[in-house]
Amino acid sequence: MNPIEVKNLTKKFGKKDNIEIALNNINFTVKTGEIHGLLGPNGAGKTTITNILSGILLPTSGTAKILGKDVIKNSIEIRKNIGVCFGGSRFYYPLTCQENLKFHARLHGMKNPELDKRINELAEELAFKSFINKKFADCSKGMRQKIALAKSLLHKPKILLMDEPTIGLDVEVSMIIRNTLKKLSKQGTTILLTTHYLSEIEELCKNITMINKGKVIVKGKISDVKKKLKFSDNISFTTNQKIDFISKIKGIKSWKDLNGEVIIHTNSPEKLIVPLIKQLEKRKIKFNDLQINPATLEEVVLKIMKE
């Protein structure tokens, strides 16, 4: 049993004559202790999935299971075991950060002194002790997001649903959040991470599910996803000389010369690089900055968005 299992999940909004399909037969699973990246462009349906898994949105059809239990039938039990953090989270503005956290902790059945102890622990861990008694209204975006993360961790959940947790945050706060997620994952917490920051996905996740217009485009290991979408690594170098001859070199899929910056696409850059250098030297071509560039997730997403 995987801690998160989504099967044929469909969500439609609107009425008969104006139906919008937000999710169309979505399937994916997340393994224990894994940080699974859910990505796609704006409006792809990522937040809708997070909302359904957290029990605040009901699906039109299909099933979503957390820890083997249906999110609709066992809604209360599941919410005891999940922590949810939304980007740009809001809490009660007139209350202090501590008062807000206390409210949510009590709704999770936590009592004093356990409650105060846990809030203090999180304040140390996420570095918000200095503003714990500040009104939420007076907190900066970064401070607010730390509180949102703390809220999701109050009850030590087994599953974390993170919807754009670092959106619009500075480097320091983003790093604290990323490090916390890494640490929790090592401790066995299963995390579903939705983000626009592809570097974040590449840093934290092994497996991803990429969706667009409510459909799964591709899923699996990041390296496999790049292969599936035929995104090859490339070799690049700069030169001022003509290099038309390189199309004759075996193993080159395609190449282009962008005003002196040459980019060569190949399936095996490591094998190609030696013959390429030999040919360049043989023809006395001066070149600089020769390097192998792995295909980035960014390119993959851009390609999907264009399609």
Partner 1 sequence: MLNKIYAYLERNIRMIRSAPGEIFQITIWPLIGLLSIGLLGNFVVGTGASTNTIGFIILGVLIWNFFSVSARSMFVGFMYDVWDECLKHHFTNPVRTRDFLLGNGIFALTSSIIGFILVGLLSIYLFNFNVFSIGFYLIPGLFIVLLHGLADGLIVNSLILRKGYGYHSLGWAIPGFVMIFSGVYYPINTLPEIMQKIAFFLPSSHAIEGLRGIIGLSNAGISEFYIGIPLAIIYFSISAWIFKTSITKAKHNGFITKY
Binding site for partner 1 (CB under 8 A): 13, 51, 54-58, 76-77, 79-80, 82, 84, 86, 89-95, 99, 102-104, 106-111, 135, 148, 151
Residues 6+ apart with CB under 8 A from 236: 261, 262, 263, 264, 289, 290, 291, 293
The minimum distance between CB 86 and partner 1, in angstroms, equals 7
The minimum distance between CB 302 and partner 1, in angstroms, equals 28
If DSSP codes are grouped into helix, strand and coil, which group holds residue 64?
A: strand
The minimum distance between CB 222 and partner 1, in angstroms, equals 29
d(CA 135, CA 32): 37
The minimum distance between CB 56 and partner 1, in angstroms, equals 5
Which amino acid type is present at position 251? G
Cβ proximity to partner 1, 14 vs 260, nearer residue: 14
Cβ proximity to partner 1, 133 vs 199, nearer residue: 133
The minimum distance between CB 51 and partner 1, in angstroms, equals 6
**Residue position matching structure tokens 């462009």:** 41
Cβ proximity to partner 1, 102 vs 226, nearer residue: 102
| Spacing of C-alpha 41 from chain mean position | 12
d(CA 206, CA 196): 16
Cβ proximity to partner 1, 76 vs 274, nearer residue: 76
Cβ proximity to partner 1, 90 vs 278, nearer residue: 90
What does the block give as tokens for 247? 């199309």
d(CA 156, CA 148): 14
Angle between helices 141-153 and 171-186 (to 10 degrees): 10
What does the block give as tokens for 158? 């087994």
The minimum distance between CB 9 and partner 1, in angstroms, equals 15
Cβ proximity to partner 1, 48 vs 207, nearer residue: 48
If DSSP codes are grouped into helix, strand and coil, which group holds residue 126?
A: coil
Contact between 133 and 143 under an 8 Å Cβ cutoff? The reply is: no
d(CA 54, CA 81): 10
Cβ proximity to partner 1, 110 vs 222, nearer residue: 110
The minimum distance between CB 47 and partner 1, in angstroms, equals 8
Cβ proximity to partner 1, 95 vs 167, nearer residue: 95
Helix (H) or strand (E) holding 302: helix 297-306
The minimum distance between CB 94 and partner 1, in angstroms, equals 4
Contact between 234 and 264 under an 8 Å Cβ cutoff? The reply is: yes
If DSSP codes are grouped into helix, strand and coil, which group holds residue 244?
A: helix
